[in-house]
Amino acid sequence: MSLGYTSQIEPALRLRQPLLEDGSIDAVRILNGAADGVPGLVIEKLGPVLIAQLHEQRLAVGEDAARAIAEQLCRRLGATAVYRKWFVRERGGVDPRIAEAHQDPEPWLGQAAAPEHAVREHELQFFVRPYDGFSYGLFLEHRDNRTLVRELSAGRRVLNLFAYTCGFSVAAAAGGAVQVASVDAHKRYLEWGKRNFELNGLDVAPHRFYCSDVFEFYKRARRQKLRYDLVIIDPPTFSRQRKPRRVFVLEEQLEALCAGAIELLERDGLLLLATNDRGISRQRLEQAVQSVAGGRRCDIRERPALPVDFAGDPDYSKTIIAALS
């Protein structure tokens, strides 16, 4: 490992020291690729486990150097294991050997971790799975957004689209939402989400979980005259769905996605819209919402910044909160 990349570790740790010393948080992005001077290498701390993401198209160091950086961080942070994720250029056609490696309980470094463990995020907890594929169950860039959703949800009916493991849904319910509807095309993620509710002592009975394509859910919600006070949209950039068979491309369907959500939104309701598509700017998000608001007044209420451990890469993820009267 070159001295140049070794020297990036100390400033990265100093930047994150407040998070690392905060006893209410134990899920932190420790190294953020180019933003921390090591392009293509991302390392995240999930309690006692580190996840090292090696991004094929951007990785500026060799695998041995990446391993040495991970090993040094493992020692410094007192981690028990490091799991490696190879982020290939085309994830849809990933080599079966890489996919299998992402399901392997044997770590890159250290001792094998449990298949699942809980991490803390302020007053909330979430289950993560270190070797459950490319993703492990929680998007850390939305840590502050989940806090914001919790603050906004009291007394509201909340709709969480592309809910994944229901991080936003848990935050909304913990914040006093009267009902939270979570929509995702994958049943196993919704079941994972229900366990996150239970982990936080939240009764799932008042809430709704829909295993559905988002556009199919829009049709159902219109038929049933469902209405919401806060809608959360954090969509993938691209996905292939089986039922119905559909290719989702956010760049092409952003306006339709926003229009369907606004149709279900009560007067004076809020829309949280986020994306990690680097090709879509915050301005484009704002224009998309405003262009489909119809006769409703649309004010951009907030433009939340990324958490400190994602600083230096503002295009990584963008969020807006719009108020529609």
CATH number of the domain bearing residue 61: 3.30.750.80
pLDDT at 119 over 90: yes
Q: Do both 158 and 287 map to the same domain?
A: yes
The CATH number of residue 301's host domain is 3.40.50.150
User: What is the Cα 77 distance to its own chain's centre?
Assistant: 23
Between the two ends of the chain, the Cα-to-Cα distance in Å is: 56
pLDDT at 15 over 80: yes
Structure-block tokens of residue 139:
């998007």
Residue 312 is assigned to a structural domain of this protein: yes
Q: What is the pLDDT of residue 56?
A: 86
Q: Do both 187 and 316 map to the same domain?
A: yes
Phi and psi based region of residue 102 (left: phi greater than 0; alpha: psi -120 to 50; beta: remaining): alpha
pLDDT at 81 over 80: yes
- Among positive and negative, which fits the CA dihedral 146, 174, 190, 159? negative
What interhelical angle do 250-263 and 282-291 show, nearest 10? 50
Q: What is the pLDDT of residue 7?
A: 80
Structure-block tokens of residue 163:
């809910």
Q: Do both 33 and 158 map to the same domain?
A: no
Q: What is the pLDDT of residue 282?
A: 97
Residue 123 is assigned to a structural domain of this protein: no
Residue 120 is assigned to a structural domain of this protein: no
The answer to whether the beta carbons of residues 11 and 36 sit under 8 Å apart is: yes
What one-character-per-residue DSSP string does 46-98 give? Answer: ETTEEEEEEETTT--S-HHHHHHHHHHHHHHHT-SEEEEEEE-S-GGG--HHH
Residue 279 is assigned to a structural domain of this protein: yes
Enclosing domain of residue 93: 3-114
Q: Do both 78 and 167 map to the same domain?
A: no
Per-residue pLDDT reduced to its tens digit, 269-289: 999 999 999 999 999 999 999
Q: What is the pLDDT of residue 90?
A: 59
Q: Do both 59 and 199 map to the same domain?
A: no
Question: 266: helix, coil or strand?
Answer: strand
Residue 124 is assigned to a structural domain of this protein: no
Q: How many domains does the chain have?
A: 2
Q: Do both 40 and 160 map to the same domain?
A: no
Mean pLDDT of 291-307: 97
Residue 233 is assigned to a structural domain of this protein: yes
pLDDT at 143 over 90: yes
Q: What is the pLDDT of residue 2?
A: 47
Could you give the CA distance from residue 98 to residue 20 in angstroms, rounded to a whole number? 31
Q: What residues have CB less than 8 Å from 58, skipping those under 6 apart?
A: 33, 34, 39, 40
